[in-house]
Structures are given as C-alpha cells and as structure tokens.
Amino acid sequence: MHECIHNCEDCRDACLHAIHDCLHKGGKHADPHHVGLLMDCVQICNTCHDFMLRHSPLHVITCGACADICEACAKSCEAIGENECAEICRRCVQSCRAMAATQ
C-alpha cells in the first residue's frame, strides 16, 4: 500500500506541474480535453491517496477509478510527447490496479 500511496503522490505532482507547463506551451498541449484529464488525474490521485492513508476498506474502489483515469491521462500525455508525465502516470496505474485487485 505504501508504494501505491507514493505513486499517487508522484502522479499528482507530475500532473500539477504538467498543467502549468502545458498551459504555457499552448497549442495541442493546452487542449481542453488534455488539461481536463490532467486535472482529473490530480483529483483522483488525491482522493485515492487519502482513502489509502486512512485505511478505508473502500480504497479498492478509488484505486480502480484512479487506475482508469491515470491510464487515460498517460495516453493523452504520450499523444502530445509528454513522455515523462505518461511514465509517472503508468506507474500509478500499475500500483492502483494491484491495490484494486486486493478486494
């Protein structure tokens, strides 16, 4: 669980940073759909992180949702060449899928 918590923190931070960078870069980077996915990823990572920290038995639900949203975000990041953010999102996907499977 600790690894997943850490990966959610890293993903949240990477996406927050990416929002700032993408808005400054403009063009395809500032596409509303892409920026929206980054914002969704930030929010679900925060939620998932909080559920795990307090050992909520419902963390498996938030982890499943987090994996799905982070995967969509990773694909969007890859599509515009933001490979570092995509890689961090994929790490979160892997650990959240593993946590969701503990149900």
Q: What is the pTM of this model?
A: 0.94
Query: Which CATH code is given to the segment(s) 2-100?
Result: 1.20.1270.360
pLDDT of 102? 83
End-to-end Cα separation, the chain, in angstroms: 13
What residues contact 36, with CB distance under 8 A and at least 6 apart? none
Task: Could you list the beta-strand ranges (E) of 8-99.
Answer: none
Tens-place pLDDT, residues 27-71: 999 999 999 999 999 999 999 999 999 999 999 999 999 999 999
Asked whether the beta carbons of 72 and 37 are under 8 A apart, the reply is yes
* Extents of the domains making up the chain: 2-100
CB 70 within 8 A of CB 45: yes
